[in-house]
Structure 1
Amino acid sequence: MPPLALTRLVLNDFRNYTYLKLDTDTRPVVLTGPNGSGKTNLLEAISFLSPGRGLRRARLHDPARQDGDGQWVISANIINQGFEHKVGSGLLRPAGGGPGSEKRTVRIDGVDGKRTSDLGEIFQVSWLTPQMDRLFTDTAGGRRRFLDRLTYGFDPEHAKRTASFEKIMRQRNRLLKEGRMDPHWLNSLEHQMAELAISIIAARGQTIDRLNQAMEEGKNGDKNIVIAFPKALLQLTGALEERIKDMPALMAEDSYKQALENNRKIDAAAGSTTHGPHRSDLGVFHREKDQAAALCSTGEQKALLISIILSNARLQAGLHGKAPVLLLDEITAHLDRFRRCALFDEISRLNMQAWMTGTDEALFAEFADRAQFFTVENGTLTRV
């Protein structure tokens, strides 16, 4: 089976690109060039072809080219299970619409009006950026989004459930803020939130169980990978997780719904929902050292992140016959030659398309002809 791969990327008015058309094959892609040349912008564009706000968590207007009209468009050809799909997304202004009328659009195989969550059924992608080197010491939100993105690969519906939960929660927050304590309306919203919340927690828990099992089995895997990247132990933590631990699903839904009802006055005063899956956290530990990831060195933290990403890729390859596409920004930073070689070998072994950036082409030399190389300078790409 051919790998999941992006074989054509077209950008219009995206960041520093007025127009770009890039054709590739299914091998890994290495993008090198000076800082500020537009390498990360390419990875961000690809990340917008999956559910969510992209690898920079940008506001919808942020990617628009500064000298443009405030709109941007990304389109791509994607090979999935041997079939080619044409997908696109962008911020467009309806004909005759003025400023403020723009909206995010998604097109899949010629059909407009799709949801961003629908992209997850066509294109599974994970990423690591330099900002994520602080993932284990930053806020819970970043770790939760990282876990959710891994979960999308096992359960594409997870993206729709998390989006629906956030939307309904905002409706409830607005009612409470305005003092509109209509019990029938609130009961209906809280019932929907409870059903979604328990499904979200269950999907996250299943992903963690799979990854932990893969880490355990990985101890007997490729020697270089075992030595190069430490094994992680993952845990899902949170007040709601603790509250419903060992409860059957229906009982857990009733318990959370009751908690929402009991907390209405507290949430109204806080201006937010104070209890739920949007407050969950991902705990990560270094197995061999029996130490929280947050207490590990910077190099160890990056190695743990790579270990999790690779374990997820191996799982996806085993379950679906294809690994996700990886976006690895400045991935060679803090990696010595042994770890670089182990990473490149594993990417090749999994027949996985990874898009990698760096300032020094020499740091990717071990890939040789297993990858395709491009230089990026001032928004222009040249095949090496």
Structure 2
Amino acid sequence: MTTHVFIVDDNTFKYHLEYMFAGTGAKEKSVDFNNSSTTKLYSGRKHAGEYSLVGMMADGCRVRKDDLIIFYLIEKQNAREGMFFGVFQAAEDGIFLDNFDENQFLYKELKKSLTFRLKIKPYQVYQQGVTEWEALDEIKNICSPYQMLWSLIYRKLKGNRGNTMITTYESKRLISLIRQKNKNQTLNFCDYTFDGRNIIKGEKHKEYTGRTEEINILPRLLAKATRKQAFEVHLQMYITQNIGRGINESLDKALNAEKNIEWIGNEVSCGVGLQRIDVMISKTINENQKIVMPIELKAVAASFDNTRQLGRYIEWIKQYYVPNSPESDIQPVLICVKRKKLSDDLKNEFKRFNQESNVLPLKYIEYEILENNLFFKIVDYQK
């Protein structure tokens, strides 16, 4: 179960609570490539507008039903610092699309466009929030750097991502801080709102009646792949949306992820630089063992540089993730476009990487387009 932190402000938060939904958006941009192979978004940096939207879609598509939702209320200048409120749950898998136009639900009330949305439900709702200082800066109970909430710290350093996943350890710590702030007292109302300081009881029930268009990136992904255009962010979104759901059996089989995924992340920051893991999942093997898989995605064939990238991810996971989840083994994964033949030199590079990494062997997966879908298959490079 992954925990996702959604960004809200003083105006939008009350509507999220009253109508029980979370969402992100990119100002007043509209998505014209959903369930479509074409787009007219090209301007300026050509594909940048499309990539930004697909990135937000990937963030939302990692959400699974019953995942935990925490809201981060951004600071109010000279009045209040940023605060974390919770806890809610996702009511269903993934996000839906409510495109920007005159019919976007609650646009006038929100005073902004939230294009990608999901319905939520109460879980353990607390009246008071925890300040950003209490959550990220207070270190009196921190014994080691790896116990800090790095996912949220990286978010502050790298830009205000509207929907950030946090690790299982970080979730437990943040929720514990919220619980302690409220002396373990939850709110047990049917309806909620926000009074500017606290979550309170809503005056009346308000039904979410907006559009809920299903998201499908596959036609656009296939079109870009066929034209040999860059599509890594589309591939990332496709995987976060479908992994472990039985929708693409070849994907689940290749990652051995049919039913045992406990955590999904994408664009996982692993340092103060620009390094990010494309997709990372944690699988439960048994009550005493988990496997965490950093996944590098490529829209091209495998190359020697791929192992260098995976090596950096592994070192970060060893230092910052595994100490908080000591039952986790690491298995790196490389997913690339199918090659005609894997060269002996590349096979030897994978073997060298395995010997030096001191983790589970690299899983190398190739994919190709078959019958208007993606087909994934493990490649045995040990032969």
TM-score category (smaller protein): under 0.3
Q: Considering Cα pairs closer than 8 Å and 6+ residues apart, tell me whether 1 or 2 has the greater RCO.
A: 1
Superposition TM-score, scaled by structure 2 size: 0.24
Superposition TM-score, scaled by structure 1 size: 0.24
- Greater helix proportion: 1
